[in-house]
Homo-oligomer: A and B are copies of this chain.
């Protein structure tokens, strides 16, 4: 089960903020993290492997990449974790534990998780849950942000939040209203605007919607290839000896 963090760079960070962008509704986490990495010209920090992780390489701009990666920016004092696959439920607890180890080691001062939530009204709201009451107060002041009063949130973000609440560690979950279809650049744009407000870092999110088609193409490419690869795999198993293990 051993999940491992492989650090391949020597960043100069001082109590950075950690942004987490894992897949979810509308692929908001992955798209917005991907866009953030590109716009802020962040550098590769390393990658994450795990026995339960899918064995595959993503290919971006001709380069094969591990699908769960870490980036950093000395300038913005920022770290981003991005995953191009859904974290298997059995790996969530261990990955969360490993993230807290990273937080302690790197003296991360705050975790912000990006994600999507089913649209409730006009797709104009970013819902939020925070581990500490003082964070609620700050977040409520932000444009378009609404704190969730009653509910539940699953996966790595859920575990990070529950533990943050107990250990008085600041964790913020931002959930932009998102279409449930393939991916939703508008939701990604909304969540990045809120992130921009929190971090006081200017992120040109208008570009995201303008480039929506390119990004769509790019991400669609990844997901489609992944699906095709998966289908091919299935087919190969069907025409070969795979069913023996069925």
Contacts and interface: CB of A to CB of B under 8 A. Distances in A.
A236 interface: yes
Q: How many copies does the complex hold?
A: 5
A157 B229 CA distance: 11
Contacts of A153: 56-57, 59, 64, 225, 229
B233 A54 contact: no
A149 to B, nearest CB: 5
A239 B65 CA distance: 20
**On chain A, which size bracket covers the interface?**
35 or more
B239 A223 contact: yes
B64 A158 contact: yes
A57 B159 contact: yes
Interface string A185-204: 00000000000000000000
A149 B62 contact: yes
A27 B236 contact: yes
A87 B56 CA distance: 13
Contacts of A121: none
Contact of A164 (B25, B64, B237): B64
Contacts of A39: none
Interface stretch (A12-20, A101-109, A129-137): A129-137
A159 B232 CA distance: 17
A8 interface: yes
Interface in A164-207: 164-166, 180, 182
Contacts of A136: 62
Interface in A53-103: 54-67, 84-86, 88-89, 92-93, 96
A166 B64 CA distance: 9
List 10 A-B pairs, minimum CB-CB distance, nearest first. Answer: A151-B225, A64-B161, A150-B221, A55-B92, A57-B158, A85-B241, A57-B162, A154-B229, A152-B226, A56-B154
